[in-house]
Amino acid sequence: MNAATSMVATMQQIDQGAAWAAMEKRDTNADGSFVYAVASTGIYCRPSCPSRRPSRRHVQFFATCGEAERAGYRACLRCVPTQADAPPVAAVKRAREYLDAHSGEAVTLAQLAERAGLSPFHLQRTFKRLVGVTPREYADAIRADQLKNHLRRSSNVTAAIFEAGYGSSRGGYQASATRLGMTPGTYRRGGQGMRIRYGTARTDLGRVLVGATERGVCAVMLGDEEAELEQKLRKEYPQAEIARAGKDLAAFVDGVVRQINGSESSTVPLDAPGSRFQWKVWKALLQIPSGATRTYGQIAAGIGAPKATRAVARACAQNRVAVLIPCHRVIRSNGELGGYRWGPDRKRRLLKVEQSKATPRAE
């Protein structure tokens, strides 16, 4: 078989789409199943190579290193595809396999580094380079996916949290705040099929309404009159079944009230609809300390979209769980408060309360 015939045979036996997808993700699990060669450089690499990704039209796939070399390509010196498993790649692979097998346990970076055979610092840096996230972010993603699966099968949120491997309900609630939420499709249907219970209370900012599904809080509204807030809730979810809650929602309402009054940060679970970009913004808001502020530009830069200041402002305006996702902590670059769904006066008072109770930082 000549080189041209061999190359055609190779391309036929490799799933081109799957190979390209694995290469784009730098999937270490695909290492050893094929290599890719770049016509513009004359070099071939393993799928997980950290080098910059070439244009698709310049890429060819080969089942083995030998086939790539017979076609005239030379091995990459960075990922060393000729080695069965380059040491960094093998170490990260061991780390991922260990995290996959121990997703229900608290694994420290030191423990993981010992398993991988690298120092904690080297593992952290190499894992991020090859996988795209840190070991902790990788473990959190696995656990959050398990939480979603358990929530689908269980009517008991607390039981689902512990079954997913969280050591406390607080940890599960924090994960739900950043990773869970009803689908955008459900929200577009006006909450059709949803059952929302709500409770109200008086706060330093007037009345607050807290609405929740079986998965978590889906609405926090501030206003002057209870009837007005209930009307807004029904307008927000016109197709949902809405009813006043009993004492079973008291803990959620109390948590929101305490946060409004500046007593403590709440860890109630959320069921908030949002796009991937919106949740990226909202997650950044959750990381702003109580009593501190960030500008819309700082949030945009922090999520890797420095030119998306207006989109960040829209995401803040579309936040339906006031205070729990603290969009009131985002201000304009000139120091002005900017807009707030529940009025600039409430935004000013929320910040004033938080700043008065924030713990002074040591110089």
Rounded average pLDDT over 286-301: 91
25-32: which pairs have CB atoms within 8 A and are 24 or more residues apart?
25/132, 26/50, 26/130, 26/131, 26/132, 28/89, 28/92, 28/93, 28/96, 28/130, 28/131, 29/93, 29/96, 31/85, 31/89, 31/93, 32/84, 32/85
In this predicted structure, the answer to whether residue 39 has a pLDDT above a threshold of 60 is yes
Predicted local distance difference test score (pLDDT) of residue 69? 92
Encoded tokens for 167? 């050591």
Rg (CA), the chain: 25
What is the band of 103 on the pLDDT scale with cuts at 50, 70, 90? Answer: low
| Confidence (pLDDT) at 213 | 87
Asked if residues 256 and 266 have their Cβ atoms less than 8 Å apart, the reply is: yes
* 97-101, 130-134, 257-261, range with the lowest pLDDT: 130-134
Instruction: Read off the pLDDT of residues 123-140 as tens digits, 9 standing for 90 and up.
Output: 888 887 766 678 887 777
Task: Give me the catalytic one of 45, 76, 79, 316.
Answer: 45
Across the beta sheet with 217-223, what order do the strands follow?
A: 217-223, 206-212, 195-203, 241-244
Give pLDDT, residue 293.
Answer: 94
Instruction: Convert the pLDDT of each residue in 140-165 to its tens digit.
Output: 766 666 555 554 454 454 455 545 45
What is residue 357's predicted lDDT score, i.e. its pLDDT? Answer: 75
Given this model, what pLDDT does residue 131 score?
66
In the residue annotation, 327 being an active-site residue is answered as yes
The per-residue pLDDT for 307 is 81
Q: What percent of the chain has pLDDT over 70?
A: 75
* CATH for the 184-260 domain, from 3.40.50.2300, 3.40.50.2020, 3.30.160.70, 3.30.950.10: 3.30.160.70
201 has pLDDT over 90: yes
Listed residue (99, 82, 96, 103) closest to 25, CA to CA: 96
Query: Residues spanned by CATH 3.40.10.10 within the chain?
Result: 3-75
Q: Where in the chain is the domain with CATH 1.10.10.10?
A: 276-357
Instruction: Check 49, 79, 316, 327 and give the catalytic one.
Output: 327
pLDDT band at 192 (very low <50, low <70, confident <90, very high): low
Averaged pLDDT for residues 267-277 = 75
Arithmetic mean of pLDDT, 227-246:
88
Instruction: Answer whether CATH 3.40.50.740 is correct for domain 3-75.
Output: no
Task: Give the fold, CATH level 3, of 87-180.
Answer: Arc Repressor Mutant, subunit A (1.10.10)
CATH fit for domain 276-357, picks 1.10.10.10, 2.160.10.10, 1.20.1630.10, 3.30.9.30: 1.10.10.10
Q: What is the pLDDT of residue 12?
A: 47
Q: pTM of the predicted model, to two decimals?
A: 0.50
Give the residue, 185 or 60, on which the prediction is more confident: 60
Strands (E) in the chain, as ranges, are: 35-38, 43-45, 59-62, 74-75, 195-203, 206-212, 217-223, 241-244, 294-295, 330-331
Position 85 scores a pLDDT of: 55
As a whole number, the mean pLDDT across the chain is 78
pLDDT at 343 > cutoff 70:
yes
